[in-house]
Each structure stands twice: as structure tokens, then as C-alpha cells.
Homo-oligomer: A and B are copies of this chain.
Amino acid sequence: MTLTVVGSIAFDAVQTPFGERERMLGGSAVHFSLAASYFTSVRVVGPVGDDFTATELNVLESHGVITDDIEQVEGASTFFWKGHYEYDLNMAHTDDTQLNVFGEFEPKLSPESSGADMLFLANIQPDLQRQVRAQCDSARFTALDTMNLWIDTAKDSLRSAIGEADCVLINDAEIRQLTDEPNLARAANAVLALGPKVVIAKQGEYGAALFTPGGFFALPGFPLEDVRDPTGAGDSFAGGFLGYLDGECEAIDQQTLRTAMGYGTVLASYNVEEFGTERVSRLTRDEIESRLVALRSMTDFRLRSD
């Protein structure tokens, strides 16, 4: 099974109350790829500049991520994001965004990438997402992430992109904004009505909720005393979620979707324990499994009749 992701590959400068990094590997496609690499074969599509070196490439390749479709643009710089978090780590404050190579990005997928079994459209402009989706006709499952910027500036395109995806991952504030519906259950149903079979509302430290037609499932965030850098948590969630579905599930059904939510929660929890990709890039599958077992034991309760 193969899984293609299209999204940003970046250098990030991040400051939190627990430390800072001036320049580290980041970007949605990078966080996603590393998380998914524990489950399946991942191909990453996205542009980088001259400043992207073998060192960064090696972080991906050492996890088996296929980087052939990373396009290096000569004379240009890699996408750069600078942000900080205060004690409330739920809220990212952007200090600087330099699109660089990302400003002119026209996704070109090799036959191998466009022929993948699954596709993740990370948070990029929705018309680009649609362009990529159209190149991946044979994917059995396509998931899409987005953000408030596209709800504000490209709502119609975004609604079309959502209509062409099987699964939408979206922050719960954004799902309300997208649908003008303050009630989350109603908002999720309004998104399902656009076409997707699966809507995942990401709720930060509160976890995530899975909506399918007539179905609901929710998991809390894994409780952590030390959260150092939340950057990339949502993409790590998506990587664990889709990586498991692509690599280890023949059927995509209520049961496998729920287990996939568990893996997403686990990967997101490891992501935030350290800066950038530091923790996820040195995970083991045993660590993933043992945290999933712990997560289940934290959500399990008995009925009187049990």
C-alpha cells in the first residue's frame, strides 16, 4: 500500500514557554510523512529551495519516506514559518510567514505518486488540493485538511474540494465557521452533506471526534504533563490515522476508523512532547503500541450489566 501526501515542507522557528528553536525541519507534509512512516510506504510531494540539504532529506529517507517528488527549486528558499506560543499552548501566534518556493507551487505528481492507494491533501490552497485530487483518480481514500484562511478567502473552492474528498480533518472552531453552525454535531452533518463519508473534528488537547453518517466516536487527547511544542500535532494525527488505514486495513469501516483515530491520537501526543519532529523521528512501533493500549485503558468503562 502507498500513501501520497501533498503539502508544505518547511523550516520553522518556534518559541514556547519551554524553549525555542531558530530553524528546524517542519511543514505539514513532513509531520504527516514521519507519523505515517511507522505504518506504510509514504511518498511526499512538495517544493523546497536550495537551502534544503541532504541532512533534512535524510530525516525523511531514514524513515523510508520516498522523496522523489520533492521538487528542489534553484535560486529560491524553502517555505519559512515563525511563530510562538504562550502558556496557553492551544493558540499559535504567527510572527512571520515567507512563502518562498511555496508561492509558485504547481503540484506535479509522478505516476507513482498519483497512483497511490491513499492521498492526503495537507492544508494548502483548496484549488491546488482539487488539482492534485484530479491527478489521483485511483486512490481508494482521500483525506483533506484545511484552515480558517481558506474559509475566509476561498470558501467556494474549499467546499468543492471537500465534496471531492472521502474524509475531512478540521479544527472544531473551523468546522463551525465553515458551516455557520455553532452546534458541532449539526456542523459535522453539514460537512457530511457536502460529500465526504468521514469528518474528523480536531479539538486540540480535548482530543478528536469522528463523525460518519449516523455514527459518532470520540477520544480525549492523551494526557501529558509536558507539552513543549504543539506545532504539527494535527498533521501527526493525520499521519497516524491515514498511515494505519493505508498500511494495515483492508476495509475502511467504523471499526478500523476508530482504531485509526487511536493511532492518530498517539502520534499527535508524541509530536507535542518535544520540538518539531524531534520526538516522532525517533519513535518505535513498540512505543506507539504501548501508548495506544494506555489510551484504551483510559477510555474504557463498564456498564452495570457487565
Q: Which residues does A use to contact B, with CB under 8 Å?
A: 87-89, 182-186, 189, 203, 205-207, 209, 216-220, 223-227, 248, 255, 258-259, 261-262, 289, 292-293, 296, 298-304
Q: Are A298 and B218 in contact, CB atoms less than 8 angstroms apart?
A: yes
| Residues A259 and B301 in contact in the complex (CB < 8 Å), given A220-B220, A225-B183 | yes
A296 to B218: give the CA distance in the assembly, Å.
Answer: 10
Contact assessment for A248 and B206 in the assembled complex, using a CB-CB cutoff below 8 Å = no
Could you write out 29 A-B pairs with CB less than 8 Å apart?
A: A87-B182, A89-B182, A183-B225, A183-B226, A184-B205, A184-B223, A185-B223, A185-B224, A186-B225, A189-B225, A206-B207, A207-B218, A207-B220, A209-B220, A209-B223, A218-B223, A219-B220, A219-B301, A220-B220, A248-B304, A258-B302, A259-B303, A259-B304, A261-B301, A262-B303, A289-B304, A296-B301, A296-B303, A299-B299
Taking CB atoms, residues of chain B closer than 8 Å to A258 are 300-302
Please give me the 10 A-B residue pairs with the lowest Cβ-Cβ distance, nearest first.
A218-B220, A258-B301, A206-B206, A87-B182, A185-B223, A185-B225, A216-B223, A216-B298, A186-B225, A299-B299
Give A184 to B227 CA distance when docked, in angstroms. Answer: 11
| Stoichiometry (number of copies) | 2
CB proximity of A233 to chain B, nearest CB, Å: 15
Q: A87-B182, A183-B227, A300-B300 are in contact. List 12 more A-B contacts (CB 8 A).
A: A88-B182, A203-B206, A209-B220, A209-B223, A216-B223, A220-B220, A248-B304, A259-B302, A262-B303, A292-B303, A299-B299, A299-B301
Cβ distance A291 to chain B, nearest Cβ, rounded Å: 12
With a cutoff of 8 Å between Cβ atoms, the chain B residues found around residue A88 in the complex are 182
For the complex, give the distance between the alpha carbons of A225 and B186 in Å. Answer: 6
A256 to chain B, nearest CB (A): 9
Contacts of A293 in B (CB 8 A): 303
Query: What is the minimal beta-carbon distance from A216 to any residue of chain B, in angstroms?
Result: 5
Q: Which residues of B contact A189 (CB under 8 A)?
A: 225
- The smallest C-beta distance from A264 to any residue of chain B, in angstroms, reads 11
C-alpha gap A74/B89 in the complex (Å): 52
Distance (whole angstroms) from the CB of A211 to the closest CB of chain B: 8
Shortest C-beta distance, A103 to chain B (Å), equals 36
Interface centre among A87, A207, A300, A301 (most CB of B within 10 A): A301
